[in-house]
C-alpha cells in the first residue's frame, strides 16, 4: 500500500461529522445574489440550501450559499426559512434562520398601444405577456400628448370626425380605459399580471414645449415616464399642451404627490432626435422640412442646474432609462462597449428614407453626464438610478426579442419581497432596480457591504465593491417563469458571464468622463468577485456593467451580446 493511500485512509478515519452555522441575525433582510456567511467544518462533500423546505439549491461560493433564484416568498408572509445543509461520510448537519428575501422580478413598463401612437391592442399585449410567461410584471406608458390618435386608428380612420364627436358626447376617454385595464390586471378581474398606471410626457418641438414657451429653448424639453403607485380614480395625465416645460410638469406631478397621488418619473431616450414625417417620401424633396429635426434629447446640465422648482424635481425624478429600443445611452464617456447603439441601426433608416437622423452626440445628453450632475453638491441626497424598458410601438408582447427600431426590448430588474404593483413601485421609488438588455442577467452589487443602488452612502477606505452575477439558463426559474423571451431561441440561453466592469467618476479628466477601474472576464455562469478602491473620495460615483453572450438577432450587425447596468452609487463621506 502506497504512502499516499495510507494517508488518505488516516484522514478519512480522523474526519468528524460536519457542522454548519449561519452567521446571520434572525429576521435579517437579504437580497437575491447575496453571499451568506457560514461557519462550516468537517470538509463536507455535499452542500445545499433550501427555502421553506422547497427545492435543493447548490449555488455556493466556497462554503457560503449564494442566494440566486430563490423561491418567491408566499403572498401571506414576509419571511421565509433559509436552511443550509452539509453532509460527509460521517454524518449530516443543518442550520436554519428566518429571513426576509428581496427577490429579483423582471418586467417591461414602457410600451405603447393604439391608445396613443402604437399599432397594437393593449388587451392583446397584456394577454401575450401572461401567455409568454417571461415577465413578472408589465405596464404601458401612453403618450399623454397623442392619445387622441386612438380615435384615428383602424376603423376610426374611415370616420375620424364622427369618432371624435362620439368621444366628446360619451366622454370615452382612453385615460379612463387605461385606468380600468390596469386595475383589472392588478385585481384579477382579467387574466392577472402586476401592472402600474403610467403615462409619458412627450414634450418636444413636435408638441408644445421648449422654444417659444421657454427662454431656454429646446433644452427645456424631453420625454419622461411617470408611474403612479396606485390606480387613483382622479389621477391626472398632463399633456405638453398644458405643461410645456420641465418646471411646469414637475410642479404638476409634485402637486399630485402632495394630494396623495404618489408618483415617480424616469427620463428616457436621452440621446433621441429624429426628423418629422420621416416615412413620407415627399419630405426628402423639401429641404426646410428635411432639416427640421424633432428634439427628444436631454440636456442633463440644464435639468440639474437651471430649473426653478428643484424641490418638485427632486421629489419626483428617480433616474433614467439607460437602454430601450432607441439604443444604449451610456458608454461613450466611460470606455465601455456600446451594444445596441443609437446610431448604427438608425443609419440604416437614413439610407432607406434619406430623411431621418437619430443621434445627438452632444456631451450633455449621455448618461455619464447625468451621473456627474447627480454627484454634485446641489443634488446630494437625491436618488438617481439606471433602469431599462422597451419603448416599443409595434411589438405585441412586452420584453420581447422581436425588433422595434431594429433592437430588442430592455427590461427592468426589481428587488422586492412580493411581485405586487405596490411593492414594485416602492422598490422603484427606493431605486432598488437596474436595467438589462432583454435577458434576465441576475446581478447583486454591494458597496462597503451596503445595498444602495441610486443612493448616497458613507463608506470606509478602501471602498470594497462585491459583485455577484448569474447568467441566463435554459428552462424555468424558481418563480415558474420562462427564461426565454418572446421571439428568442430556447437554445441560446446557456452562456456564461463574459465581462464585469466597475466604473467610477474620472475626477482627473473632468465632466462627463468616467473610467474603468476594474475589468474581469470570468467566463463562468455564476461569478463572485470583490474589488477595492483606495482612491475613494466624497462626491465620487460608481456603477457596474455585466455582459453575456446571447442569440444573434440580426445577421447584418453581428450583435449577439447583452449587458446589464447596475447603479450608480454616490459617495457622501469617507470614514
Angle at 512 between CA 506 and CA 515, to 5 degrees: 30
**Residue 187, phi then psi, degrees to nearest 5:** -95, -5
Q: For residue 341, what are the β-bridge partners?
A: 328
377 burial (CB, 10 Å; 0-12 / 13-18 / 19+) is exposed
CA dihedral for 150, 156, 159, 163, sign (positive or negative): negative
Angle at 227 between CA 422 and CA 229, to 5 degrees: 25
Are 275 and 287 spatial neighbours (Cβ–Cβ below 8 Å)? no
Please list the ranges in the chain whose pLDDT falls under 70. Answer: 1-13, 145-172, 204-213, 217-218, 240-241, 273-296, 343-362
Q: Where are the beta strands (DSSP E) in 183-257?
A: 197-202, 223-228
**pLDDT on residue 290:** 46
Are 112 and 177 spatial neighbours (Cβ–Cβ below 8 Å)? no
Are 78 and 417 spatial neighbours (Cβ–Cβ below 8 Å)? yes
**Residue 149, phi then psi, degrees to nearest 5:** -60, -20
**pLDDT on residue 169:** 56
Please state the separation of Cα 466 from the chain's center in Å. 20
Domains of the chain: 19-102 (2.60.40.10), 104-574 (3.20.20.140)
298 burial (CB, 10 Å; 0-12 / 13-18 / 19+) is buried
Please state the separation of Cα 200 from the chain's center in Å. 17
Q: In whole angstroms, give the CA distance from residue 357 to residue 296.
A: 12
pLDDT digits (tens, 9 = 90+) for 243-284: 788 999 999 999 999 999 999 999 999 987 654 444 444 444
Place of cell 418636444: 204
Neighbours of 1 (CB within 10 A): 6
pTM: 0.91
10 membership: H or E segment, kind and range: helix 3-14
Residue 388's region, left for phi above 0, alpha for psi from -120 to 50, else beta, is: beta
**pLDDT on residue 5:** 60
Calculate the CA dihedral of residues 126, 127, 133, 139 and round it to 10 degrees: 10
Q: In whole angstroms, give the CA distance from residue 103 to residue 539.
A: 30
* Strand, coil or helix: 341: strand
3-state DSSP percent of the chain in helix, strand and coil, to 5:
25, 30, 45
CB burial of 200-210 (b: ≥16 within 10 Å; e: otherwise) equals bbbbbbbbbbb
pLDDT digits (tens, 9 = 90+) for 437-472: 999 999 999 999 999 999 999 999 999 999 999 999
User: Measured between alpha carbons, how far apart are the two ends of the chain, in Å?
Assistant: 60
Are 419 and 101 spatial neighbours (Cβ–Cβ below 8 Å)? no
Q: In whole angstroms, give the CA distance from residue 28 to residue 460.
A: 22
Place of cell 470583490: 530
Cell of 508: 482627473
**pLDDT on residue 275:** 47
Q: In whole angstroms, give the CA distance from residue 410 to residue 406.
A: 13
Cis peptide before 568 (omega within 30 of 0): yes
Amino acid at each position: 500500500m502506497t504512502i499516499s493511500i495510507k494517508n488518505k485512509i488516516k484522514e478519512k478515519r480522523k474526519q468528524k461529522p460536519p457542522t454548519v452555522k449561519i452567521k446571520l441575525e434572525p429576521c435579517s433582510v437579504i437580497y437575491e445574489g447575496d453571499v451568506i456567511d457560514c461557519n462550516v467544518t468537517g470538509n463536507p462533500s455535499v452542500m445545499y440550501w433550501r427555502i421553506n423546505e422547497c427545492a435543493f439549491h447548490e449555488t455556493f461560493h466556497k462554503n457560503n450559499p449564494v442566494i440566486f433564484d430563490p423561491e418567491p416568498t408566499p403572498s401571506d408572509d414576509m419571511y421565509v426559512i433559509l436552511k443550509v445543509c452539509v453532509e460527509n461520510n460521517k454524518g449530516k448537519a443543518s442550520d436554519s434562520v428566518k429571513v426576509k428575501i428581496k427577490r429579483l422580478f423582471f418586467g417591461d413598463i414602457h410600451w405603447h398601444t393604439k391608445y396613443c401612437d402604437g399599432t397594437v391592442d393593449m388587451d392583446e399585449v397584456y394577454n401575450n405577456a401572461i401567455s409568454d410567461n417571461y415577465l413578472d410584471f408589465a405596464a404601458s406608458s401612453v403618450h399623454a400628448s397623442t392619445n387622441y390618435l386612438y380615435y384615428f386608428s383602424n376603423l376610426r380612420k374611415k370616420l375620424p370626425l364622427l369618432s371624435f364627436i362620439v368621444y366628446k358626447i360619451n366622454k370615452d376617454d382612453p385615460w379612463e380605459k387605461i385606468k380600468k385595464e390596469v386595475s383589472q390586471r392588478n385585481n384579477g378581474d382579467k387574466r392577472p399580471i402586476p401592472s402600474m398606471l403610467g403615462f409619458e410626457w412627450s414634450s418636444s418641438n413636435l408638441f408644445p414645449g421648449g422654444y417659444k414657451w421657454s427662454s431656454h429653448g429646446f433644452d427645456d424639453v424631453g420625454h419622461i415616464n411617470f408611474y403612479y403607485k396606485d390606480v387613483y380614480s382622479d389621477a391626472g395625465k398632463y399633456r405638453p399642451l398644458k405643461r410645456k416645460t420641465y418646471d411646469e410638469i414637475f410642479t404638476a406631478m409634485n402637486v399630485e404627490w402632495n394630494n396623495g397621488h404618489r408618483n415617480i418619473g424616469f427620463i428616457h431616450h436621452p440621446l433621441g432626435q429624429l426628423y418629422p414625417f420621416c416615412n413620407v417620401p415627399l419630405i426628402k424633396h423639401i429641404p426646410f422640412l428635411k432639416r427640421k429635426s424633432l428634439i427628444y434629447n436631454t440636456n442633463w446640465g440644464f435639468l440639474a442646474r437651471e430649473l426653478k422648482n428643484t424641490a418638485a424635481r427632486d421629489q419626483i425624478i428617480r433616474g433614467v432609462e439607460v437602454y430601450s429600443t432607441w439604443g444604449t445611452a451610456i458608454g461613450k464617456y466611460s470606455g465601455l462597449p456600446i451594444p445596441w447603439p443609437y446610431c448604427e441601426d438608425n443609419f440604416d433608416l437614413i439610407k432607406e428614407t434619406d430623411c431621418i437622423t437619430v443621434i445627438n452626440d452632444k456631451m450633455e445628453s449621455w448618461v455619464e453626464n447625468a451621473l456627474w450632475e447627480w454627484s454634485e453638491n446641489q443634488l446630494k441626497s437625491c436618488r438617481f438610478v439606471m433602469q431599462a424598458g422597451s419603448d416599443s410601438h409595434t411589438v405585441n408582447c412586452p420584453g420581447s426579442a422581436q425588433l422595434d427600431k431594429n433592437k430588442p426590448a430592455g427590461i427592468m430588474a426589481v428587488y422586492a419581497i412580493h411581485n405586487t404593483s405596490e411593492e414594485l413601485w416602492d422598490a422603484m421609488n427606493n431605486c432598488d432596480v437596474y436595467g438589462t438588455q432583454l435577458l434576465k442577467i441576475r446581478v447583486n452589487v454591494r458597496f462597503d457591504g451596503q445595498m444602495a443602488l441610486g443612493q448616497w452612502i458613507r463608506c470606509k477606505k478602501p471602498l470594497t465593491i462585491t459583485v455577484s452575477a448569474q447568467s441566463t439558463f435554459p428552462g424555468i426559474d424558481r418563480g415558474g417563469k420562462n427564461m426565454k423571451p418572446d421571439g428568442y431561441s430556447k437554445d441560446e440561453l446557456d452562456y456564461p458571464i463574459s465581462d464585469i466592469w466597475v466604473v467610477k467618476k474620472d475626477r482627473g479628466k473632468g465632466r462627463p468622463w468616467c473610467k474603468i477601474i476594474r475589468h474581469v472576464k470570468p467566463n463562468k455562469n455564476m461569478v463572485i468577485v470583490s474589488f477595492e478602491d483606495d482612491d475613494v473620495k466624497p462626491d465620487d460615483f460608481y456603477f457596474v456593467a455585466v455582459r453575456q453572450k446571447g442569440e444573434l438577432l440580426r445577421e447584418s450587425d453581428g450583435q449577439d451580446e447583452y449587458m446589464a447596468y447596475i447603479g450608480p452609487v454616490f459617495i457622501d463621506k469617507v470614514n
